[in-house]
Amino acid sequence: MSTELSEAPKRAAGALGALAERLDIEPKRMSEVLKATAFKACKNDEQFAALIIVANTYGLNPLLKELYAFPGRVARSFQSSQSMAGSVSLTTIHE
């Protein structure tokens, strides 16, 4: 019988870390990929963080086109949009 305590799994730091862990990718690489693809409309880190939080809150995967960012009507703003794939994903999870 072993008296050693097993190490607790390391928790991802922050929202980006949680999303990266869920998608099994390094957080830095996740940031680069999202900024170059689904979240191109983000003009600053605050907008990027807001979309990451939305993705985590609803369990959406922006790489599967379940969540997008679009430029807003007002300068320096953005709008997030959930795709049909995202809606189906949420419906399937909640059934």
Q: What's the whole-number mean pLDDT along residues 34-50?
A: 88
The pLDDT, as a whole number, for residue 63 is 87
Report yes or no: 19 and 4 within 8 Å, Cβ to Cβ.
no
Return the higher-pLDDT residue of 80 and 59.
59
26: tokens are 């390094």
What is the pLDDT, as a whole number, of residue 44?
A: 87
Q: What average pLDDT does the segment 30-59 reach?
A: 89
Q: Which residues contact 47 (CB under 8 A, 6 or more apart)?
A: 41, 69, 78
Rounded to the nearest integer, the mean pLDDT of the chain is: 77
Q: Report pTM.
A: 0.67
Contact 54, 39 (CB under 8 A): no
* The predicted structure's pLDDT at residue 83: 56
